[in-house]
Amino acid sequence: MGGGCRERVLVVATPGAPARGGPCTDVYLLRLGGLEGLREALSRSRPSRVLVVADPSRPEAAVYAAAAVKALGHGKVEVEASYPGLGDRIVEAADRVVEKLDGSPLREETLLRLAAEASASLESRWEALAEALYTGRLAPIASMATLITVLFAVFSVSTGFPLDFVLAGLGFPRAAELVAGLAPSNLIASLFDEARIIVEALLPGALGSVAAAVVNGVGVVASLAPVVALTVLAVAALQDSGLMARLALGLRPLTAPLGLPSQALYPLLVATGCNVPAIMTAERLGDGKLLNAVALAAPLVPCSARLAVIAAFSFALFSNPLLQAVAAASVYAVSIILAATVAGAAYRIQGGREPPRLAIDLPPLRRPRLSPVLDAAIDAVKEFSAKIAGPIVAAAALIWLATSPEAPEATRLLGEAVAGVVAPIFTLIGIEGWPAQVLALAAIAGAAAKEIVLEAIAVQAGTPHPWEAVAALGLNQAQAYAALLFYTLYAPCIATAAAILGATRSPKLLAASYALSIAVAVAAMTLAYKLAEVIGVA
């Protein structure tokens, strides 16, 4: 025993449990049936305290170890387990084993049998609650509520949305502004906006415009980093805790009709906040077919950036708040149904199948381990920066040069020429001339980031208010609603496109994602307008 130690600790690590030592600490790796080895470790270490480290999936090993230490005459035993209350319950079970031994000779076979009997009732209260919630009749509701709660927290912390939206709706506008203003993504975006202004002031002319475009692109990447990190952090925590497998099991009734594995719902729900971490989440689930399906479907899911577009068009469409809400909700519903349908079809076409219920492995529940969860988040940000940042910066710079009113005239004229090619799409819903040109240029700008759609319309309409800008186009309700469906569904933004290419390493799949989303957007826009004509709204 080393000098200067007030307390000598013997750590007994049961099979499957982590072993860690330290100053004044000895470690013994227990093997079931190794009673003599444990006796020798106690004799050699002469500890003042014994710490048994338990693996929740094998509680009988921890009961065996704690009971053996007590029976060998060392009364001060503690048990460390990875979820609340289990350690104390193991100590209680070990006490019952010692009571049954009642001073009789300590035999290996007897100790193993009594430990197995005592551990039969050791299911954690937390684990029992989780099993009841996620494998019983309430499983679909509990699983969906859990995912929505996790995502609400992740996106509220990283972007302020949807907490700021909820607070504003409840009549707390200042609190909503504070939440949005303090969100890391918004703070980073604001810093880069200021940096862009400074760069343009210091570097006049074409050089300043190009430099500002690059700064804008870097800002897009930097503002997405907190979203990616926190989303992957949440996924890693759910997986490491054993909860993700139970959520997947609980969601089977919702995904089975679509032909999708239960895990598909998580990245598709993540996409409602941001499509980029949705792609990265699908990649981490380890199913290549599911990744491809999500890569095709996620761009159809309305992200938080598209909420501003949906809100502005809804305000321009109707003056009645109820009708505004119905318009916005219907766009969300149509988009999510289309995304789920596309994901299911893409997964089945690849030959993907949901595993049988009995084939789903349910790992033991435990507290998420900090180190692997943080490592997963850090690795995701590194991967995001390495594989996605470059394409985002380049594409954002090019689109800014083509559409921004602050860009050089030559590049803006090129953007307007491209818009002239896109504009005929809107003739399908009866929009021609200047309004069609404005909508086309906004579509090109929105390829960089969806919220830029409103900025592009507002600049060309000559008003700072998004809903006034939409109203200035002179669209009827059917045309405005159809155009809104188009903007909600068409083409992944450059960040999502870079994420798809980085995760799948398939330019063909990226091209398919663009082609599919544009085709779906045009079809939905046209169908909505024709339906409005039939019922006499157009």
Q: Where does residue 496 rank: exposed (0-12), middle (13-18), buried (19+ CB within 10 A)?
A: buried
Q: Where would I find the H helices in 285-369? A: 288-297, 304-317, 321-349
Instruction: Please indicate whether residue 250 or residue 473 has the higher confidence score (pLDDT).
Output: 473
Return the residue matching tokens 């149509």. 334
pLDDT the model gives residue 433:
92
Instruction: Report, as an integer, the average pLDDT of 404-426.
Output: 83
CA 37 – CA 11 distance, rounded (Å): 14
CB atoms within 10 A of CB 477: 15
Q: Is 103 left (phi over 0), alpha (psi -120 to 50) or beta?
A: left
Domain definitions of the chain by residue range: 9-122, 133-534
pLDDT the model gives residue 382:
83
pLDDT the model gives residue 372:
86
**Is pLDDT above 50 for 2?**
no
Instruction: Specify the DSSP element, H or E, that contains 466.
Output: helix 466-472
Return the residue matching tokens 């669209």. 475
80-106 pLDDT tens trace: 876 656 788 888 888 988 898 887 888
pLDDT the model gives residue 523:
97
Instruction: Please indicate whether residue 310 or residue 451 has the higher confidence score (pLDDT).
Output: 310
195-254 pLDDT tens trace: 988 988 898 777 787 788 788 778 877 888 888 888 888 888 888 888 887 887 788 787
Percent of the chain whose pLDDT exceeds 70:
91
DSSP string, 121-172: T---HHHHHHHHHHHSTTHHHHHHHHHHHHHHHHHHHHH-TTHHHHHHHTT-
